[in-house]
Structure 1
């Protein structure tokens, strides 16, 4: 299955989506732990997800029924934005845990929005029922080759813009981002996944050798809260991901605060998870190791973010 997404697929996706996505910058932090940040939270709609959404919609024939997607929030915002940009109607289904910030982005893009169910899996069921009724095309959040290739353009862009890295840390939800980035680097750079202790779908799948359902309870559940990883994502992770580091919710909150204090970077919990691994010691680089950290999402409610800063 690993040959379903190749460097050639990712390179083609990068060319395809270039007119529609931002080339996000890099930022070097020397303290408290030296690293290079890839600032993907500055991407359109506030996360990397637009890459996979545009790659999918630019690669298929969209029917009269339009586009439908289930999401914890960021994927839905990305699909809504991509569909609007390309002139397609979109229906987005999100669970009740989705943050108001993400719901607002979806609404601003003009999509029909349905909020219901406590978790992503329930939103997905509603989305599939809608597709069966209307003929709308689905855009999967992570377990689809076009999605994975689109997310992998983060890695292609990162490598082209950096002086060189030994390791990259990437947060994991359903696995679309890390499998795409890992497919691009293909073992040339060590790729480490980062998951909350309370949402460890990839770690559990790697242990079991297959996708398995896990319980989800984390401050990052609205972006890293998939109950299981996709089969394609697991296959690519088995081939190219070094290991998964687990972080606590407290470490994620500390990472949010530190990114703000060090660089005035606003992140949602999932967006700060990869940095949390480095900051907390869940991942400890060797002497001289050049580490990159993907900051993948910014969509947090301002009041909630202010509370996080006050807690510290």
Structure 2
């Protein structure tokens, strides 16, 4: 986050920031669709080592945010970021630039195109071809750098310094996180009495926004990460942001080496549960969504659902592994956050 941004917008995230983002983005993004899920069906549908334990009855909804513009929740933060800078008169002629695993770049390019602003997007080599093609379709200048997000970010920062372009961020910015938090406002409005929201975590922009809004509404947040992409979980364990290795089927969206201070602050201030799930459960959850509901989502989106289907593991008091088990009668919403994926690796049900 630049000094210019800090002076204009501060470096913290509050519920008031989310309300301001709601005002800016209403009418410019698609309201989330909420789909109820029949009680008791999730674990019955899911193929995996579930054992004989019976599922307690609870109420469940899917927040179908993969139907958002650009195919993910990132459109919310990008729209808020660019509109806020437009209002402040701080959009430079050089346009905006961002490093991304794909989805944030898509959202930034889309929002920039709407505002008639140039966008230069830096991607790591692991970015899916489907995302690269969409980026170019939005008119973005796409530059592939390195094998990980951190390397693309370094190149993006160098470009911003040399060109004067406004540097956006995939997740580490209050305007981006506030935009993501508008999703929780919509979920809360559509599900009165919601107890818990379950959301996947990469660098933590979506989590920080959702958790901040959820806290205001007295809703618990479950933060779900792959076992080998555990930036937030490790930060909670260490007492501060730390670098972690990243290796997961969801690395293209959840492969941040380090959680943001915004995310860690939100985790400490809110009633959150940190959950780790193995890649095998993520793959099975994604396949199950396709088999039983004909929904093709990214592995990152399936990571959130895997929290409800992963086998029980030993859990610590703060940063906990294993699945999340809703209480009897609990009202739970799972965010399916993106669908910019190549569905060719999804197996037809008859082949399972």
- Would you say same fold, with TM above 0.5? yes
Q: Could you say which residue in structure 2 is the equivalent of 1:202?
A: 232
Q: Do structure 1's residue 302 and structure 2's residue 343 form an aligned pair?
A: yes
**318, 328, 336: which one aligns with 1:287:** 328
Q: Give distance in 1, aligned partners of 2:11 and 2:174.
A: 10
Q: Do structure 1's residue 29 and structure 2's residue 29 form an aligned pair?
A: no
**1, 9, 15: which one aligns with 1:7:** 15
**CA deviation profile, 1:119-154 (whole Å, cap 9, x unmatched):** 000000110111111100011111111111101001
**CA deviation profile, 1:205-244 (whole Å, cap 9, x unmatched):** 0111111000000000000000001112211121115121
Matches within 5 A, 1:117-132: 117-132=146-161
Structure 1 residue 308 displacement after superposition: 8.6
Q: Provide the secondary structure at the position in 2 that maps to 1:64.
A: coil
**143, 168, 172: which one aligns with 2:172:** 143
Structure 1 residue ranges, 4+ long, deviating more than 2 angstroms after superposition: 306-312
Q: Do structure 1's residue 47 and structure 2's residue 72 form an aligned pair?
A: yes
Q: Could you say which residue in structure 2 is the equivalent of 1:271?
A: 301
Q: Provide the secondary structure at the position in 1 that maps to 2:42.
A: coil
8 Å contact from structure 1 (residues 253, 308) kept in 2: no
Q: Could you say which residue in structure 2 is the equivalent of 1:229?
A: 259
Matches within 5 A, 1:99-248: 99-186=128-215, 188-248=218-278
**CA deviation profile, 1:178-210 (whole Å, cap 9, x unmatched):** 110010111601101000001000000011111
Q: Give distance in 2, aligned partners of 1:160 and 1:84.
A: 30
8 Å contact from structure 1 (residues 257, 308) kept in 2: no
Distance 1:3 1:287, change over 3 A: farther
8 Å contact from structure 1 (residues 168, 189) kept in 2: yes
Q: Provide the secondary structure at the position in 1 that maps to 2:62.
A: strand
Q: Could you say which residue in structure 1 is the equivalent of 2:81?
A: 56
Structure 1 residue 307 displacement after superposition: 4.9
8 Å contact from structure 1 (residues 199, 216) kept in 2: yes
**237, 256, 275: which one aligns with 2:286:** 256
- Cα RMSD for the two superposed structures: 1.7
Q: Provide the secondary structure at the position in 2 that maps to 1:243.
A: strand
Distance 1:133 1:256, change over 3 A: same
What TM-score does the superposition give when structure 2 sets the normalisation length? 0.85
Structure 1 residue 116 displacement after superposition: 1.8
Structure 1 residue 118 displacement after superposition: 0.5
Structure 1 residue 290 displacement after superposition: 1.1
Structure 1 residue 310 displacement after superposition: 8.1
Q: Give distance in 1, aligned partners of 2:347 and 2:293.
A: 18
8 Å contact from structure 2 (residues 11, 173) kept in 1: no
Q: Give distance in 2, aligned partners of 1:279 and 1:197.
A: 15
Q: Provide the secondary structure at the position in 1 that maps to 2:253.
A: helix
Of 262-271 and 210-219, more deviation after overlay is shown by 262-271
8 Å contact from structure 2 (residues 291, 348) kept in 1: no
What TM-score does the superposition give when structure 1 sets the normalisation length? 0.95
Structure 1 residue 40 displacement after superposition: 0.3
Higher radius of gyration, 1 or 2: 2
Q: Give distance in 2, aligned partners of 1:6 and 1:262.
A: 39
Structure 1 residue 3 displacement after superposition: 9.1
Distance 1:84 1:251, change over 3 A: same
